[in-house]
Structure 1
Amino acid sequence: MKLSILIPLLFAVATGSAWAHGDVKCPPHPAADWKPHTELEQKLIKEGWQIRRMEKSASCYEVYAKDPQGKRIEAFFDPVTFDRVDEK
């Protein structure tokens, strides 16, 4: 493979995760209303998810996991309802 093709390809792969959640916005909730992330983790495990990592963003819980079908995904959840929030 030519170097002129390889470098942009490597850049796109390396920065792909930064583009993954550009349009995800959870409904605004006061911090006091947020449920603990451990409750979301327990819920997802019962549904067959394999959690790798969870993070708290400004308005969502961000979950890196394998879904029940075994697909590696990055998913966002409303911190009050635990509903999954999709990209716009």
Structure 2
Amino acid sequence: MKHTLLAALALIVLGTGSALASEKCTTPRNEWQSRETLEKKLTAEGWKVKRIKVDDGCYEVYGFAPDGRRIEAYFNPKSLATVRQKMED
């Protein structure tokens, strides 16, 4: 029974690691859209962008969401799709 439990825990941990790894942005730099394009997109959606930087191959954006809450979000630099985000409660 202990072996089964350990095997199940190992699968959960390994599965989580691969899920986190899939959040990384791996697009080659020559395929990236510009920061200005991302900023224009977010501004049109009602964001107030304070800073855009590169982190782990993703664009990392700090600013305020349309509802006024502080937000930190990561975007795929090629598609400009949201990879993940953290919002202030």
TM-score range with shorter-chain normalisation? Answer: 0.5 to 0.7
For the Cα contact (< 8 Å) 2:25–2:56, is it kept in 1? Answer: no
**1:52 alignment counterpart:** 50
Measured after TM superposition, the shift of residue 23 of structure 1 is 7.6
Number of matched residues?
Answer: 66
Pair 69,49 (structure 1): closer, same or farther in 2 beyond 3 Å: same
* Larger proportion of strand: 2
Root-mean-square deviation (CA, aligned residues, Å) is: 2.1
Deviating above 6 A after TM superposition, structure 1's stretches of 4 or more consecutive aligned residues are none
What runs of 5+ residues in structure 2 fail to find an aligned partner? 1-19
The TM-score, its normalising length taken from structure 2, stands at: 0.66
Task: Give the SS at the match of 2:40.
Answer: helix
Measured after TM superposition, the shift of residue 36 of structure 1 is 0.6
Give a deviation string over 1:10-37, Cα, whole Å, max 9, x none: xxxxxxxxxxxx9883331111001111
Q: Considering only CA atoms, is the larger Rg found in Structure 1 or Structure 2?
A: 2
For the Cα contact (< 8 Å) 1:24–1:85, is it kept in 2? Answer: no
